Structure 1
């Protein structure tokens, strides 16, 4: 019946049937076939009777895909696995390290945004804040946020900050709510958030409680990043098994 599978004493003996791979990987038989078709795992050999014949590498690849998909999404996971199977071991290991770096960078960005929002809260609580900032021109607000007026106009076009329009020349003036929104947008943009992510957060803020809601959203984001990092860590041994043949 062939020699035992190495590295996983609980796996059935080679060659593996589709049902064996499904049981060991946690996917259904149909999912195994679909993921093979999508290139997540290399094509299985065919036995003399036409049935698929898999190896332990297929099981490792499917488990690695589960962790990668949890960390970076299914599309990026498929692309990464395809590269890992063909790259030299140094490049494959670097690709995996890049995923860890990406998650660490996202976490740092969320933490910086939290710090910026904390500073906004402290400033808003300072005596005289409302009296001194009851309205601002676009130039004044841009200077206060250390951005260009063109950035404020762009945020307006994207629906992130809505100024009050006064005078026949439609000169922009920003009231307290608009100033607060602009400060949050500036904090999130400064933390590296893209416009779609900022828009999602700002839309949520319009429905709930201001800066505290932004803190809640960022805490959720940090929890999600942590879960993605754990998924990647769990896939570590299986990723190593996928990478190892490239370096042998």
Structure 2
């Protein structure tokens, strides 16, 4: 692959765009963003690319699913600026985030094992919004937002009007907090908690947890695929995979 990428064959923007479902304007935008190396110009001022640019494009598109657009862009910009170590640092951060998300999933599963709405008796007391927010490491405004979204249902103290979270409401807040950490949007969390609250069990969460597992596995494989294409591009640039310059 390295030999082909080093070829001096000239490619037009449309040649790069074709086959990837991209527009020629997207190719120009990628070059301006530093995702692709700077293109040479023809005597008439037209951009001309080479198979090395095609390799950069393949690497970027392969990095996107695992890293997301901002990080994939930063990785390619670092490589094209001969700062491979910075690219490796960004890649490490994505792997660290994936590991943290896996730990969060395990924490959610651990929390769910201890939560059963059918056996949680109501308590006469409760927790106010401030102490609960501090315990979860969030702001009181976040708990109020979750209440508006139907995730938690505190009751009001009849004398003061303050929100009071009984054991069931604290459970729902904990579930919401863990699922939010796992990347679930509020609109997906609300029906899950509603089912847990009313359906008599935690079974409705099984599909969500399975989906979460699948998404993490897909990200892991995407990181591997992106690494393979980036390695090919690094080798084509002549920098291999272990130096600080490409």
TM-score, with normalisation over the residues of structure 1? 0.71
1:85 corresponds to: 80
Match 2:122 to one of 129, 134, 143? 134
Q: What per-residue deviation string (whole Å, max 9, x for no partner) do you get for residues 5-27 of structure 1? A: 84448x9862233343234x624
Give the paired residue count: 230
Deviation at 1:220, TM superposition (A): 1.8
2:144 corresponds to: 157
For residues 188 and 52 of structure 1, the distance between their equivalents in structure 2, rounded to whole angstroms, comes to: 48
Contact 2:122 2:166 in 1 (8 A): yes
Unaligned runs of 5+ in 2: none
TM-score, with normalisation over the residues of structure 2? 0.72
Alignment RMSD? 3.8
> Residue 32 and residue 208 in structure 1: after superposition, are their counterparts in 2 closer, same or farther (change >3 A)?
farther
Deviates more, 1:197-206 or 1:49-58: 197-206
Match 1:205 to one of 192, 210, 213? 192
> Residue 201 and residue 28 in structure 1: after superposition, are their counterparts in 2 closer, same or farther (change >3 A)?
closer
For residues 196 and 178 of structure 2, the distance between their equivalents in structure 1, rounded to whole angstroms, comes to: 17
> Residue 200 and residue 108 in structure 1: after superposition, are their counterparts in 2 closer, same or farther (change >3 A)?
farther
Match 2:245 to one of 237, 244, 247? 247
Deviates more, 1:235-244 or 1:107-116: 235-244
For residues 162 and 23 of structure 2, the distance between their equivalents in structure 1, rounded to whole angstroms, comes to: 64
Q: What per-residue deviation string (whole Å, max 9, x for no partner) do you get for residues 23-59 of structure 1? A: 4x62435232342244321231112243322123311
> Residue 108 and residue 92 in structure 1: after superposition, are their counterparts in 2 closer, same or farther (change >3 A)?
same
Deviates more, 1:25-34 or 1:50-59: 25-34
Map 1:12-23 to 2 at 5 A. Answer: 14-23=9-18
> Residue 247 and residue 153 in structure 1: after superposition, are their counterparts in 2 closer, same or farther (change >3 A)?
closer
1:73 aligns with 2:73: no
For residues 47 and 142 of structure 2, the distance between their equivalents in structure 1, rounded to whole angstroms, comes to: 55
Deviation at 1:148, TM superposition (A): 3.7
2:215 corresponds to: 224
For residues 139 and 7 of structure 1, the distance between their equivalents in structure 2, rounded to whole angstroms, comes to: 67
Unaligned runs of 5+ in 1: none
For residues 236 and 179 of structure 1, the distance between their equivalents in structure 2, rounded to whole angstroms, comes to: 42
> Residue 155 and residue 54 in structure 1: after superposition, are their counterparts in 2 closer, same or farther (change >3 A)?
closer
> Residue 60 and residue 227 in structure 1: after superposition, are their counterparts in 2 closer, same or farther (change >3 A)?
same
For residues 183 and 13 of structure 1, the distance between their equivalents in structure 2, rounded to whole angstroms, comes to: 58
1:28 aligns with 2:22: yes
